[in-house]
Amino acid sequence: MTTKSPATAVLPPQTAAPESPAPARVTLRGTVKTGRRLTVPRSVRRSAGPVGLVLLWFLTSATGVLPESVLASPVDVVKQAVELTENGELPGAIAASGRRAAIGFLIGASVALSLSLLAGLFRLGEDVIDSSMGMFRAIPWVGLIPLFIVWFGIEETPKIALVALGVTYPLYFNIYGGIRSTDAQLVEAARMMGLGRLGLIKYVILPSALPGALVGLRYALSTAWLALVFAEQINADAGLGYLMSNAQQYFRTDVIVLCLAVYALLGLACDFAVRILSRRLLTWRANFEGEV
């Protein structure tokens, strides 16, 4: 490439006719308009897609193109939301599901934290725990539902256990990875400054594992809601999943869509909370924070 002369590289011979020589100068025309330009704010552009889809949904339902047996119209979904909130069914279901998610998350998080600390801090722990976790990770946890029902029955326990299991893996791997990515130079310097084993863990190892742990927390919370959706499909007598499977029996697509929307909103709320938490806890970081 570099051996080619610029003239032959730029212009094929036939266009380089002597009567029309290549222009020696080019004029660069600006794209900036002199007058006022119509600019749409970014937030409007970003929301245009979802709003348009809802509008399309509304229009197709209103005109009967989309039958109610396939998907209820957005108006019906909102009506159902109001009705079920007023008679207390929806808040009750959210409370029941939230309780399962919270208990399952706490159990899973405690297990993940203890295992990742043992595996991260001690070589013996790593040898024993990490390989086992890698092995269990290969089992699709949703596939354990039948086994959990055999073990724990059909009450609350299998649902909480499934959430706990789904939470454990992402937290474990991220905290363990965070502990092991601690800068050995910082450990050395801190040891030189007189920190003992506990001091090292408190001031060096755990803080450096924190960014990874927060990433794990985001995964874990979204997994918790996902696990709940699966778990509540089986023999629930309360909760969002119960509401959904009940609605399925009566072909109430409006309630099903409402429950899906509530799941999504709860997931988004958790994600938002973790992002706020990350911003507060990681102010010390000097990482790339995205361009304005």
Q: Where are the alpha helices (DSSP H) in the chain?
A: 6-10, 42-62, 74-86, 89-121, 123-125, 131-137, 145-152, 156-180, 184-192, 197-200, 206-231, 240-249, 253-281
Please, which of residues 56-85 interact with other proteins by CB under 8 A?
Answer: none
Q: Quick check: 201 binds other proteins (CB under 8 A)?
A: no
Sign of the torsion angle spanned by Cα atoms 15, 16, 17, 20 = positive
- Residue 187, helix vs strand vs coil: helix
Confirm if 285 and 211 have CB atoms less than 8 A apart. Answer: yes
What six digits make up the tokens of 263?
Answer: 């799941």
CA 19 vs. chain centroid, Å, equals 64
- The residue (of 135 and 192) whose beta carbon lies closer to other proteins is 192
- Residue 253, helix vs strand vs coil: helix
Determine which residue in the list 191, 229, 230, 235 makes contact with other proteins, applying CB under 8 A: 191
Q: Quick check: 198 binds other proteins (CB under 8 A)?
A: no
Encoded one letter per residue, x for contact with other proteins by CB under 8 A and - for no contact, window 134-173 reads: ----------------------------------------
For the CB of residue 185, give the shortest distance to other proteins in the complex, in Å.
5
Determine which residue in the list 28, 138, 286, 292 makes contact with other proteins, applying CB under 8 A: 286
Residue with tokens 């801090």: 121
For the CB of residue 120, give the shortest distance to other proteins in the complex, in Å.
17
For the CB of residue 97, give the shortest distance to other proteins in the complex, in Å.
36
Stretch that binds other proteins, among 73-81, 133-141, 147-155, 195-203 (CB under 8 A): 195-203
Q: Quick check: 199 binds other proteins (CB under 8 A)?
A: yes
Determine which residue in the list 208, 233, 235, 246 makes contact with other proteins, applying CB under 8 A: 208
Confirm if 142 and 228 have CB atoms less than 8 A apart. Answer: no
What is the total count of residues that contact other proteins (CB under 8 A)? 20
Contacts (Cβ under 8 Å, ≥6 apart) of 5: none
Q: Quick check: 207 binds other proteins (CB under 8 A)?
A: yes
Q: Which chain residues interact with other proteins by CB under 8 A?
A: 185-186, 188-195, 199, 203-204, 207-208, 210, 283-286
